[in-house]
Structure 1
Amino acid sequence: MKASFWFDKWQSREIAFHEGKVNQLLEKHVNELKLRPHAHIFVPLCGKTKDIAWLLKQGLHVTGAELSKTAIDELFDELEMTPKIEKIDKFEVYKSRHLTVFVGDFFELTTSHIQAVDAVYDRAAFIAMPRTMLQDYSCKLIELANNAPQLLIGYTYDQNLVAGPPFSVSQTKLVHYYGQEYKINQLEIIDSEDNIKGVAPAQEGCWLLYSSVD
């Protein structure tokens, strides 16, 4: 899957993956991350998610990563923030108050870019990746998280009915890609309000991934 795929989606406004409200499973289960006040949370492939505004209101420091400059321009407009924009390596970096977003290729990020994080929130990144990219994605996120816990939210549905993205996620799939580094606890699974691409009935699941190091 090339970067042009996502650029075209934003250009043509085919952004059904953008949830126009705060995710209910995030609101319900964020405390499972056991974050202290002013903790630092990383949101990969963040788009212009409403979840960022909600996380900021909880007093958290948020760092996002996103390929589309259009998405991040819209994010800051909707937040009514005027970011300072600077060039760091291959990224355009948007900064304002307690929010920083790296615009560019997620796979080029390093821990020196985002610094230490206390948690990861993944609502639309893992499920955006085709199988050919999941190994690279999960390894990169493990590197960036450095044992920090992760709250992961995604859809479970019959992949035979419709092609992704979003791609279906399951406990088995998460164990395959994250099981050596994390213990994986499914917190809840609920019926989704919408069918995937109007075709496939789906459930939305929430998992807590936490370090398997005792």
Structure 2
Amino acid sequence: MEKEFWLQRWQEQQIGFHEGRFNNSLVQYWPQLKTPKAACVFVPLCGKSQDMVFFAEQGMHVIGIELSALAVEAFFQEQDLTPDISQEDELQCYRAGPYTLYCGDVFALHHEHLKDCHWVYDRAALIALPESMRSHYCRQLANILPRPCRSLVITLEYDQGLKAGPPFSISPDSLSELYCEIAEIETLGNCTEEVKGISAIEHSFALTYR
């Protein structure tokens, strides 16, 4: 989607995609992944997601990137934190407590920003991108993430003919096509969710980048 689309959604507070709680699949599957408590997790297109608080409560450092400064500032306000703000190349960086959030385009990130990451948590990034951008996004992450690095990816699958995205429907086969050359894929499970008034399947996957 165009940047202006998301900036306008935050400006108008049309943020139905925001979950005001921990994601159920995250809570269910994260313990199975046996992540060290001192690990660092990257959350692309993070918004003001409460899932970042979940990771912080596990003792992890959280790095996020979000296009909207309104979302980033709202997150720190809601956590009662006053961030230090600096400019890093094309990105504005907000730091406070266990959180480092970059404001700007995910494609402006480079290896130095994520050099300490052990994990990626993608619940809202891949499904927010139209098909034409997904491969570029996946390869961008593969190119800048350190190794070893793993990822928890959560997608939605539903009849795209009934509702236009975002969020976009991404089946397990579609996810496999995107990642098969750059990561090993493990299917964790699925559950039923409601998206824009219609039934959807939420799929969870663990990826190990090659």
Using the TM superposition, give the Cα deviation of residue 145 of structure 1 relative to its aligned residue in structure 2, in angstroms.
2.6
Once structures 1 and 2 are overlaid, which stretch shifts more, 63-72 or 176-185?
176-185
In structure 1, C-alpha distance between the alignment counterparts of 2:144 and 2:76, rounded to whole Å: 24
Using the TM superposition, give the Cα deviation of residue 149 of structure 1 relative to its aligned residue in structure 2, in angstroms.
0.7
Amino acid at match of 2:7: F
Using the TM superposition, give the Cα deviation of residue 16 of structure 1 relative to its aligned residue in structure 2, in angstroms.
0.7
Residues 18-50 of structure 1: CA deviation (Å, up to 9, x unaligned): 011100111111134332121011000000001
In structure 1, C-alpha distance between the alignment counterparts of 2:72 and 2:65, rounded to whole Å: 9
In structure 2, C-alpha distance between the alignment counterparts of 1:203 and 1:145, rounded to whole Å: 28
Q: Give 1:181-200 correspondences, 5 Å limit.
A: 181-192=182-193, 194=194, 196-198=195-197, 200=198
- Give structure 1 regions of 4+ aligned residues with deviation exceeding 3 angstroms: none
Matched with 1:208 is: 206
Q: Percent of aligned pairs with the same residue?
A: 38
The SS at the match of 1:168 is: coil
In structure 1, C-alpha distance between the alignment counterparts of 2:46 and 2:125, rounded to whole Å: 8
Amino acid at match of 1:112: E
Alpha-carbon contact 1:174-1:184 (below 8 Å) kept? no
Using the TM superposition, give the Cα deviation of residue 210 of structure 1 relative to its aligned residue in structure 2, in angstroms.
1.5
Using the TM superposition, give the Cα deviation of residue 54 of structure 1 relative to its aligned residue in structure 2, in angstroms.
1.1
Using the TM superposition, give the Cα deviation of residue 116 of structure 1 relative to its aligned residue in structure 2, in angstroms.
2.7
Query: Are positions 1:127 and 2:127 aligned together?
Result: yes
Query: Are positions 1:99 and 2:114 aligned together?
Result: no
In structure 2, C-alpha distance between the alignment counterparts of 1:100 and 1:188, rounded to whole Å: 30
Matched with 1:171 is: 172
In structure 1, C-alpha distance between the alignment counterparts of 2:62 and 2:81, rounded to whole Å: 14
In structure 2, C-alpha distance between the alignment counterparts of 1:2 and 1:151, rounded to whole Å: 25
Gaps of 5+ in 2: none
In structure 2, C-alpha distance between the alignment counterparts of 1:110 and 1:41, rounded to whole Å: 16
Q: Give 1:1-214 correspondences, 5 Å limit.
A: 1-147=1-147, 148-192=149-193, 194=194, 196-198=195-197, 200-211=198-209, 213=210
The SS at the match of 2:8 is: helix
Residues 154-185 of structure 1: CA deviation (Å, up to 9, x unaligned): 21111111111000112111111111121212
Alpha-carbon contact 1:119-1:145 (below 8 Å) kept? no
Gaps of 5+ in 1: none
Alpha-carbon contact 1:32-1:208 (below 8 Å) kept? no
TM-score of the aligned structures, taking structure 1 as reference length: 0.94
